[in-house]
């Protein structure tokens, strides 16, 4: 049959709607969805007549898979084979089981979100994680908002609207998704006063910039890059001393939200929330979904007097945290009462600190399950991601899939669930450090169908 003949031979929409299998599809699917799916299936058949369905059963299968595609949620689960643990594009930290359970409990019914049960009166949502945050970090007071960017805007707006915010030129960083510290500072109405140079800033640079107009001194953690060579910056402790001497608050934007030291796992140099507070910062800001390993949130920790002013700032209402976040954050924070529990139960920490032996065993089992010569176990380097420990390489194990890299990467990504792999030097790697052991069998199936 010529192409033109094949095209002419395509069934009509109404004929397809009358077939037995499409009629049964209509019993459980809205008609409009089925008609759309039929149109798309016919379009595809017109574009590629040689692979068009040739009998009723094939048409029904093609239409039904179009319907499934349309019914798929936009936001869905993927397998992270990138080896980047806190991958911003893949949703950063996976939540601990306790946090998921807490969300389910709060989401399903009513809660005391803004209700004081003991007094039987209106309460405040801001009380919920505050005590736990104080206990875990030694902070005098704590406030949770939507994310760290919001936390930063709020604190700057509160402390320096119309006044000077002094910051080192070496810390005017971009965090990703075009979130730039200088632009955020400008938005908050602070007058940015830059001191020092890109590579070197001294305590005298800050001292000379302090005046009656100073609202705040800002220290921004260089979370996503490092500079080396002829460099100097002022420690949080020295800056805190200077700030206190002039009666000016010091804001330390930490970003990462590390709550336990990971030194023993070769991840050092990132200050914990308590370190930053002990160094003397008046206020510290950080994310909930980076190294903390909880939900997206912005944590503001520090002086009671300053947090009182932040709470009264009308902008706070615009960045207010929702109940599901509070539920997940509280459950995640509670795990930090015991360091071993935190390292085991918080997926981001568990993945970062996992020994390499079990990863290799899992990789070998997956290779056996796939049963194809093109899949091999190789050494790999995983990384922290999410703007923390930017240069740290974590020894890891990956599956290397031989063949046409771009094609294999695309096929892995088009599967269900999608597997997001890493392509390096023309090689496709699926890093096991960021794959949950429970998903190994599913990963094996996905790889098998991608190389079929």
Ligand X SMILES: *Cc1c(COP(=O)(O)O)cnc(C)c1O
Which residues form the interface with ligand X (CB under 6 A)?
147-149, 152, 175, 220-221, 223, 253, 255-256, 287, 298, 387
Other Cβ atoms closer than 10 A to 160: 27
For residue 213, give every residue at least 6 positions away whose Cβ sits within 8 Å of its Cβ, in sequence order, or none. Answer: 163, 164, 191
We find the least distance from the C-beta atom of residue 237 to ligand X, in angstroms, to be 18
Tell me how far apart the alpha carbons of residues 435 and 366 are, in angstroms, rounded to a whole number.
Answer: 12
We find the least distance from the C-beta atom of residue 154 to ligand X, in angstroms, to be 12
| 20 vs 174 by CB, closer to ligand X | 174
We find the least distance from the C-beta atom of residue 320 to ligand X, in angstroms, to be 15
DSSP 110-149: ---TTEETTTTEE--GGGTTHHHHHHHH--SEEEEES-HH
Q: Is 234 helix (H, G, I), strand (E, B) or coil?
A: coil
Length reported for the chain: 452
| 142 vs 220 by CB, closer to ligand X | 220
We find the least distance from the C-beta atom of residue 385 to ligand X, in angstroms, to be 11
| 49 vs 387 by CB, closer to ligand X | 387
Beta carbons of 209 and 203 less than 8 angstroms apart: no
| 3 vs 89 by CB, closer to ligand X | 89
Among residues 126, 303, 319, 314, which one has the least CA distance to residue 216? 303
In the complex, residue closest to ligand X by CB: 255
| 29 vs 332 by CB, closer to ligand X | 332
DSSP 168-223: EGGG--B-STT-BHHHHHHHTTBEEEEES-SSB--HHHHHHH--TTEEEEEEE---
Beta carbons of 248 and 282 less than 8 angstroms apart: no
| 252 vs 362 by CB, closer to ligand X | 252
| 85 vs 428 by CB, closer to ligand X | 85
Task: Locate 286 and state its tokens.
Answer: 């950080």
What CA–CA distances, in Å, run from 157 to 97, 189, 286, 308, 343?
36, 6, 17, 14, 36
| 63 vs 151 by CB, closer to ligand X | 151
Other Cβ atoms closer than 10 A to 188: 20
We find the least distance from the C-beta atom of residue 149 to ligand X, in angstroms, to be 3
Tell me how far apart the alpha carbons of residues 443 and 255 are, in angstroms, rounded to a whole number.
Answer: 32
Tell me how far apart the alpha carbons of residues 274 and 258 are, in angstroms, rounded to a whole number.
Answer: 9
We find the least distance from the C-beta atom of residue 416 to ligand X, in angstroms, to be 29
We find the least distance from the C-beta atom of residue 186 to ligand X, in angstroms, to be 15
Other Cβ atoms closer than 10 A to 385: 25
We find the least distance from the C-beta atom of residue 135 to ligand X, in angstroms, to be 22
Task: Locate 315 and state its tokens.
Answer: 């902008």
We find the least distance from the C-beta atom of residue 388 to ligand X, in angstroms, to be 7
| 223 vs 282 by CB, closer to ligand X | 223
Q: Is 93 left (phi over 0), alpha (psi -120 to 50) or beta?
A: beta
| 96 vs 387 by CB, closer to ligand X | 387
We find the least distance from the C-beta atom of residue 182 to ligand X, in angstroms, to be 13
């Amino acid at each position: 049959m010529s192409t033109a003949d094949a095209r002419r031979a395509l069934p009509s929409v109404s004929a397809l709607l009358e077939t037995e299998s499409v009629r049964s599809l209509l019993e459980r699917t809205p008609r409009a969805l089925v008609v759309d799916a039929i149109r798309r299936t016919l379009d595809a058949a017109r574009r590629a007549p040689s692979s068009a369905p040739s009998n009723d059963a094939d048409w029904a299968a093609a239409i039904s898979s179009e319907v499934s595609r349309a019914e798929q949620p936009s936001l869905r689960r993927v397998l992270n084979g990138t080896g980047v643990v806190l991958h911003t594009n893949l949703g950063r930290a996976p939540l601990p089981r306790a946090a998921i359970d807490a969300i389910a409990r709060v989401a399903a019914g009513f809660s005391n979100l803004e209700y004081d049960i003991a007094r039987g009166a209106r309460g405040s949502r801001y009380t919920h994680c505050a005590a736990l945050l104080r206990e875990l970090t030694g902070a005098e007071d704590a406030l949770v908002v939507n994310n760290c960017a919001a936390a930063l805007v709020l604190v700057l707006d509160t402390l320096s609207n119309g006044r000077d915010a002094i910051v080192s030129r070496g810390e005017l960083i971009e965090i990703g998704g075009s979130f730039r510290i200088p632009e955020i500072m400008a938005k908050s109405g602070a007058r940015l006063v830059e001191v020092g140079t890109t590579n070197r800033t001294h305590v005298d640079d800050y001292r000379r910039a302090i005046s009656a107009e100073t609202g705040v001194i800002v220290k921004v953690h260089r979370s996503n890059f490092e500079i080396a060579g002829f460099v100097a910056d002022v420690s949080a402790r020295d800056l805190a001393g200077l700030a206190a001497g002039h009666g000016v608050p010091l804001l330390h934007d930490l970003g990462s939200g590390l709550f336990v030291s990971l030194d023993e796992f070769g991840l050092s140099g990132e200050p914990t929330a308590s370190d930053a507070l002990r160094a003397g910062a008046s206020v510290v800001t950080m994310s909930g979904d980076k190294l903390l390993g909880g939900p997206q949130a912005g944590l503001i920790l520090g002086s009671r007097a300053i947090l009182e002013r932040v709470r009264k700032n009308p902008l706070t209402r615009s960045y207010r945290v929702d109940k599901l976040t509070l539920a997940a954050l509280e459950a995640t924070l509670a795990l930090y009462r015991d360091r071993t529990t935190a390292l085991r139960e918080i997926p981001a920490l568990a993945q970062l600190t996992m020994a390499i032996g079990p990863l290799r065993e899992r990789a070998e089992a997956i290779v056996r399950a796939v049963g194809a010569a093109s899949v091999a176990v190789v050494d790999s380097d995983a990384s922290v991601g999410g703007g923390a420990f930017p240069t740290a390489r974590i020894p890891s194990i990956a599956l290397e899939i031989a063949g046409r890299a771009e094609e294999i990467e695309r096929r892995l990504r088009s599967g269900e669930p999608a597997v997001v792999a890493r392509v390096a030097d023309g090689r496709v790697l699926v890093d096991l450090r960021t794959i949950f052991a429970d998903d190994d069998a599913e990963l094996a199936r996905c790889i098998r169908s991608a190389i079929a």
